[in-house]
């Protein structure tokens, strides 16, 4: 499975899987604030400013990749100084940069022998995927299928889920974004922190416009470090 695996800090492991045909990944975290008194019912949730400093940015362009001493390395447009990264290719797996931009990993499926992925390690990984402090994560996800193609695959294989982001630590799954077709409806399954799996169903008649073949979906997670999170699309 095309993936991005993330390293270790103080005995806490993080593993993330990213399967994207087009990606611009941004991560930002702040220190955990003191927990304030609960707001009155109906109070709008405070959203983290989008102009907060970034910790990490990967544009997914050829200029971010170099070959040194026979090994492919990744140099994100913005990254912590102690973040080590490389490209891992197994068997007939491959990493390509299709038009009009982004990255595509092959071969897909439930196997690890023929695949490609980006591997990051270092102390900063823990901070990048830290939900104990306020932060946000954004990426662009380009669809490779029409709604009709997804529905046909779901009818043939029962459950077909395409994963964009999947991150774990020792306590369990922390981030998840994947698409699926359920009861004939295109939906996203997502998770942030210790919350359970949640679903967003695309409105009928708008699926192709929002996430049809070749369409880029802007995905954003916001969280406040106090157990509250929001998923934004476009």
**Residue 212: predicted pLDDT:** 92
The domain spans of the chain are 3-36+44-233
**Residue 173: predicted pLDDT:** 82
What CA–CA distance (Å, rounded) separates 208 from 215?
Answer: 8
Tokens of 19: 């399967």
pLDDT in tens, 14-33: 334 443 333 444 444 444 44
Q: Is the domain defined by 3-36+44-233 classed in CATH 2.60.120? A: yes
Q: Is the pTM of this model over 0.85?
A: no
pLDDT in tens, 60-75: 889 998 876 667 888 8
**Residue 41: predicted pLDDT:** 58
Q: DSSP assignment of 164-185, as one string? A: EEEEEETTEEEEEEEEEEETTE
pLDDT in tens, 189-229: 998 887 888 899 999 999 999 999 989 999 988 888 787 88
Share of the chain above pLDDT 70, in %: 73
């Amino acid at each position: 499975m095309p993936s991005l695996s993330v390293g270790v800090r103080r005995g806490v492991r993080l593993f993330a899987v990213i399967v994207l045909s087009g990606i611009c990944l941004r991560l930002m975290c702040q220190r955990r604030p003191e927990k304030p008194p609960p707001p009155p019912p109906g109070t709008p949730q405070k959203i983290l400013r989008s102009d907060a400093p970034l910790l990490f940015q990967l544009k997914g362009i050829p200029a971010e990749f170099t070959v040194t001493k026979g090994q492919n390395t990744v140099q994100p447009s913005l990254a912590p100084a102690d973040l080590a990264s490389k490209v891992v290719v197994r068997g007939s797996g491959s990493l390509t940069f299709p038009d009009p931009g982004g990255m595509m990993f092959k071969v897909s499926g439930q196997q690890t022998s023929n695949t490609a992925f980006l591997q990051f390690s270092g102390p900063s990984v823990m901070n990048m995927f830290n939900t104990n402090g306020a932060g946000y994560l954004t990426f662009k996800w380009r669809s490779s299928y029409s709604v009709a193609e997804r529905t046909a695959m779901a009818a043939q294989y029962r459950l077909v889920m395409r994963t964009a982001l999947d991150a774990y630590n020792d306590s369990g799954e922390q981030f998840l974004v994947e698409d699926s077709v359920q009861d004939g409806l295109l939906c996203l399954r997502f998770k942030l922190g210790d919350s359970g799996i949640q679903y967003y169903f695309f409105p009928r008649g708008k699926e192709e416009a929002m996430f049809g073949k070749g369409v880029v979906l802007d995905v954003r997670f916001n969280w406040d470090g106090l157990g509250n999170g929001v998923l934004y699309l476009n």
